[in-house]
Copies of this chain bind each other. A is one copy, B any other.
């Protein structure tokens, strides 16, 4: 049974990406800007900053978390954050998640499938852990075919206890 696994806590992932100067994120940002430009969009400051911030991220952030992050470098309007996220989502450049706590989270979308992953939310420590599983993906592909359903996005969320929380 081939199961590929990426298991990264938010904190660890941040430093990993720092260490490798985040080539994947850069690629995403470049592509995102290109897509928006082709669609006839200008390059406003807030949007540019948001794209940079998201590209440094490995896992989902809420709109308010993004706003906070941006504010550390200077003021931003909340509306710009929401509008930019909506725009990115319309162009399928971000994935929008709702993990069951009433807050929408966003993360860079990954058309190549290289960084595709799902989420596991520990109900005890609140940690959000991205994971990837080939068997699961296979099941979903087969299932979609069987149902005659054209699946554009899919999302799997596990809620429970992580290995560190007994």
Residues of chain A touching chain B, judged by Cβ–Cβ distance below 8 Å, are: 1, 3, 5, 7, 96-100, 102, 104, 120, 123, 131, 133, 135-136, 138-140, 142-144, 146-163
Q: Are A149 and B158 in contact, CB atoms less than 8 angstroms apart?
A: yes
Query: In whole angstroms, how far apart are the Cα atoms of A143 and B122 in the complex?
Result: 15
Shortest CB distance A12–B (Å): 15
| Contacting pair B96 A98 (CB below 8 A) | no
Q: Which chain B positions have C-beta within 8 A of A5?
A: 146-147
Chain A contact residues: over half helix, strand or loop, or mixed?
mixed
A15 to B129, CA, bound (A): 41
* Residue in B102, B152, B161 whose CB lies within 8 Å of A149: B161
State the CA gap A160–B140 with chains docked (Å): 13
Q: Which of B99, B153, B154, B158 contacts A144 (CB 8 A)?
A: B158
Known: A147-B120, A149-B162, A160-B153. A142 touches B3 (CB 8 A): yes
